[in-house]
Structure 1
Amino acid sequence: MTWQYPAPGATPLFLASGQAAQFGYTFGGVYRGPQYVEARLDSSNGPADPRDLVVQWHGIENRAVFGGAQENYIVGIWNPSSVDIWFHLDGGGVT
């Protein structure tokens, strides 16, 4: 099974040049086992090459919400490029 976040047509994720950030995604609070995630370039604000996004780590966030716990997936991504990048996450279950 494969998925994309945000969904096609939605506003893509953003990461400024030289910055790293944590991004979260969920399947309605339902754990679906280990998920492989890849950051895919949608656009950038300049012609500089290379345009790289580095997935630094994967994790699971278990947070308390009204009515019980919710598990969210989180991923740390770094943009070592000299341009700002808009991107989406492509993923699927690890088998």
Structure 2
Amino acid sequence: MLKNLSHEDRLQVMRFVCSFAWADLEVKPKERALVHKMVKEFQLDPDEAKQVEGWLQVPPRAEEVDPATIPAAHRKMVLDAARRIIKADGNVDPEEAESFELLEQLLA
């Protein structure tokens, strides 16, 4: 599936991942490590990786993570990536669970 994604689509997934890392208002070390691993999995170039690193410093703006902009073909991937990040630290905070549930409903 990753092979079929454009670089912009990969960045879109990473924006959602980073926004979920911020769901509890703190990016924990294990979440940061998973984001870095996903940057490699998504084969992002250095400029794109720098953008992602910026989202770990300051979360993406709300208008940058509009679920309505996710193509139907990519929805499962976004949900899977969001699920990975909220479980990364071994603790799913209520804010993370609520945000994930809302995203799931919006993408249904």
TM-score of the pair, normalised by structure 1: 0.26
TM-score of the pair, normalised by structure 2: 0.24
Which structure shows the bigger proportion of residues in strand conformation? 1
**Which protein shows a greater Rg?**
1
Structure showing greater relative contact order (alpha-carbon pairs closer than 8 Å, 6 or more residues apart): 1
